[in-house]
Every structure is written in C-alpha cells, then in structure tokens.
Structure 1
Amino acid sequence: MAKLGDVSLHIEKESESHKVEATMYAVEKGEPFTDHVAKRPSEFSLSGYILSDNWEGDFKQLITMMEKGEITRYVGKMVAQDVIITDIQGEHGSEVKNGASLRISLRRIRFTQTAWIKSPPKTKPNVKPVTNSGKKMTVQKTPPKSSAVYHIIKKGDTYWGLSKKYGSSIQQLRSWNKWSDRSIPIGGKARVK
C-alpha cells in the first residue's frame, strides 16, 4: 500500500532516476571536453493498481493534481517529497473489476530562497509646503480607481501557477512584476490582473 497525496495505491514497482547534464565540445584530436555539469531533478516511476470503490474519483483526482502542477508527496517503499506528477497512464481491463492498472511518473521540484530584501521606507525632507494663496482654485477630478488585482506571493508560487489561477498571461505577469522566474520574492505583492 502506498500513498500519492491523499490517494491510496497498490504499487508493484518503484524506480528512480538521477541524472546530470554535461556539456561537450569537440576537439581536433581525442575525446571531447566537458566544462560544465548540471544536476537534473530526480524522477520517479511507479506502476501498480488503483483499487477502491471510488477508484474513478481517485483517478480523476490524480489527473487534476497533474494538470494543476500540484506539489505533493509520495510514500511507498521509497519516499519522495516535493514532487509533481508529470505523466499518468491508465489501463482498464477485465482482470481488475474495482480499479485500473496505472503507471505514474513523478519529478522532484526544488524551491529556492529569495535574495530579495525589503528596503527601509524613504523619509521625506522637511520642506515648507507651497500655498495657493491669491491663486484661482481649480477643481480637480479624482483619477479613476485602478482595477488592478494583487496577490501576496507564497512559497511555491510561480508565474505559471498565477497565470492558471488568475487568467493573465505569463508574459503579462512578467512585465507587471519585473521579477525573473527564479527570483519571485516570498511575501512580495505581485500584480496578477
């Protein structure tokens, strides 16, 4: 018995994959040289069955988690924290009456710490205010209120997730907020509409 988020699974096989990406450059003689090695996220594969009276609802819940990019946890023979579902393949055959066989692929997600620091508030210099004595007063119209919507950034928020939640394009979110994809500050106030 294993659990992926809140869904119980009967897993027969678990496998994990750890990779690096290494650049290669050709040389005139001999082996190519490598000057950079970058770690790739760990990936996990599960194969087994989803068996219950409500297996169709559980299967739909897994698909919804995958489509939303929901970060979850897998606990079986191995434990995988902070993973997303990247692929689900289900097979519905006559050999399983109250469920289905399935294969699921997971990928570990890494969270970064922000280097963003809130600056102290600016102080205004002491300046005598300008008066309007002796001048004709004009009535000023109040500017229209902004219809902008803001969101306070929480751990795990991404432009992609905010785009799905609020319906704004990723490009528009980037132009409004001026943060790079990897340095969205937790606690920051992001314009989302």
Structure 2
Amino acid sequence: MAKLGNISLHIEKEGESHKVEATMYAVEKGESFTDHVAKRPSEFSISGYILSDSWENSMAQLKSMMEKGEITKYVGKMIAQDVIITDISGDHDSTVANGAAIKISLRRIRITKTAWVKASPKSKTTRKPVSNTGKKKPVAKTPRKSSAVYHVIRKGQTYWYLFKKYGTSIQQLRSWNKWPDTKIPIGGKARVK
C-alpha cells in the first residue's frame, strides 16, 4: 500500500531517474567543467492499481492535483517529497472490478527558503545605518534640446498662412513671435510648433 498525497494506491513497481544536462560545445582545456553541467530535477514513476468503490473520485482528485500543479508527497517503498504529478495514464479491463491500472509520473520541485524574515508587528526592528555605498552618483543635467520648430518667413506669408501649414493656432503664433500681424519681417525666423 502506498500513498500519493491522501490517496491510497496499490503500487507494484516504482522507478526513479536522475539526470544532468551537459554542454554540447567544446570546453577549453583546464576550465572547470562544473559551469557546463546543469542538474535536472529528479523524476519518479509508479505503476499499480487504484482500488476502491469510489476509485473514479480518487482518479479525478489525482487529475485535479496534476492540473493545479499541487506539490505533494509520495510514500511507498521509496519516499519522494515536494513532487508534482506530470503524467497519469490508466488502463481499464474486466479483471479489476472496483478500480483501474494506473501509471503516474512525478517530478521533484526544488523549493527554496528565503533569507528574509518578516518582522512581527510587536517587535521593534533595528536597521543598519544608511551609507552612500551603492548609491547612484548624481549625473550632471544636460540642457534638453528644444523641440521647437521654426519657419523662415517669405514675402506674403502671414500668421494665417502658418496656421494653415502647421496647424498651430493664430493666437499661439502671436504669443510666440510677438510681431504685429501687419509687420511680420521677411526672412524672420518664426516659431511654428
């Protein structure tokens, strides 16, 4: 009898697999090879039977655990903690009246613990004195380039002409350029945007 989470299983066969991923590329002679090997998570396979009068409910619960990615524990001949179900397959035949044959694949999930501890609201925490180490140094502000657009006035051009060409209101053109409507100088540089 074995248990996966809170579900009892009759397991006949258990297997485990441990792998690493190694580089396919050349490694410089004398260089540490450990930088070119990545540990893969351990995987487990179990096969046997799920037997009970409500075996369909147990099967549905296992599928739900798999789909939610629920971290659980397997206890049988071997013990696998912090595992998720990655695959479930079942066989139904006439020799088993109150259950089904089942194969399940499990993968160990690496769970890390944080170094940070949440302070309780009652305790008074002491902080390290603030230092300038690691702070950004002030950067000298460079003058921003103006996004203003200018137009050189030609003979016969008026604020109305500039309004039609650039879409800036006549009132705004007057406030930027300070020329009377009848005395816009030819060759003058008028701000239009």
* 2:39 matched residue in structure 1: 39
Structure 1: gaps (5+ residues): 28-32, 123-193
- Counterpart AA for 2:8: S
Offset at residue 112 of structure 1 (A): 1.6
Offset at residue 47 of structure 1 (A): 0.5
Percent of aligned pairs with the same residue? Answer: 74
> RMSD over aligned Cα, in angstroms?
2.6
Distance 1:36 1:117 in 2: 34
Distance 1:80 1:2 in 2: 12
Structure 2: gaps (5+ residues): 120-124, 128-193
Secondary structure in 1 matching 2:77: coil
Offset at residue 38 of structure 1 (A): 1.1
When Rg is computed on C-alpha atoms for both structures, the one with the higher figure is 2
Offset at residue 114 of structure 1 (A): 2.7
- Counterpart AA for 1:39: K
Offset at residue 116 of structure 1 (A): 5.2
**What is the TM-score with the length of structure 2 in the denominator?**
0.56
Correspondence 1:11 to 2:21: no
User: Deviating runs (4+, > 4 A) in structure 1?
Assistant: 115-122
Q: 1:118 to 1:48 in 2, by over 3 A?
A: closer
Distance 1:112 1:3 in 2: 25
Paired residues, number: 119
- Cα deviation, 1:57-90, whole Å, max 9, x if unaligned, reads 0000000000000000000000000100000001
Secondary structure in 2 matching 1:67: helix
